[in-house]
Amino acid sequence: MTEVLLIVGLLVAAFVGYNIGGATTGPAFGPAVGANVITKLMAAGLMSIFFFLGAITIGPQVVTTLGSDLVHTTAIFTLKANVAVLFFIGGALFLGNYAGVPASTSMTAVGAISALGVATGELNFAVLGEIVVWWIVAPIIGFWVSGVVGRYFYPRINAWIAIEGSRDGEPMIAIDWRGAVPRFQFGGSGTRREITGSFVVVGIGCLMAFSSGTSNIANAIAPIYGTGQVPMTPLIVIGSAAVAVGCFTIARRTMETLGNDITNLPLTAAIVVAVVASAIVIVLSAIGIPASFVIIATMSIIGLGWGRATRTTTLSDARRGEETRVSVGALTAEEEGEQAPEIGEEEPEDIPKASDLFDPSTTARVILMQNVVPIIATVGAFLTFEYVPIFGF
* In a domain? residue 146: no
Contact 391, 81 (CB under 8 A): yes
According to the model, what pLDDT value does residue 235 have?
A: 92
Domain, as residue range, for 261 = 2-124+162-267+359-391
Backbone φ, ψ for residue 316 (5° rounding): -105, 135
- List the chain pLDDT tens, one digit each, 393 residues: 577 888 888 898 898 899 888 878 877 787 677 767 888 888 899 999 999 998 998 888 777 767 677 878 878 878 788 888 888 888 877 777 676 666 677 788 888 888 988 988 888 898 888 888 988 899 999 999 999 998 888 888 777 765 555 555 566 676 666 666 666 666 655 566 667 777 877 888 898 898 888 878 888 888 888 777 888 899 999 999 999 999 998 887 666 665 554 445 566 776 787 788 877 877 777 676 777 766 787 788 888 888 888 775 544 444 555 544 544 444 344 434 444 333 334 444 444 444 444 456 666 666 677 778 888 888 888 888 888 776 655
User: Domain for residue 364, yes or no?
Assistant: yes
Say how many domains are in the chain: 1
Asked, for residue 80, whether it belongs to a domain, the answer is yes
The residues, any chain, with a CB within 8 Å of residue 332's CB and separated by 6 or more, are 340, 351, 352, 353, 354
Give a yes or no: residue 234 inside a domain. yes
Q: Residue 179: its pLDDT value, please?
A: 65
Is 102 within a domain?
Answer: yes
Which of helix, strand or coil describes residue 184? strand
Question: Could you tell me if residue 293 is inside a domain?
Answer: no
What is the 8-class DSSP label of residue 391?
A: G
211 falls within a domain = yes
Looking at residue 344, the DSSP 8-state letter turns out to be T
Residue 152 resides in a domain = no
164 CB burial (10 A radius; 0-12, 13-18, 19+): middle
For residue 232, with 0-12 CB atoms within 10 Å meaning exposed, 13-18 middle and 19 or more buried, which class applies? middle
**What pLDDT does 356 receive?**
47
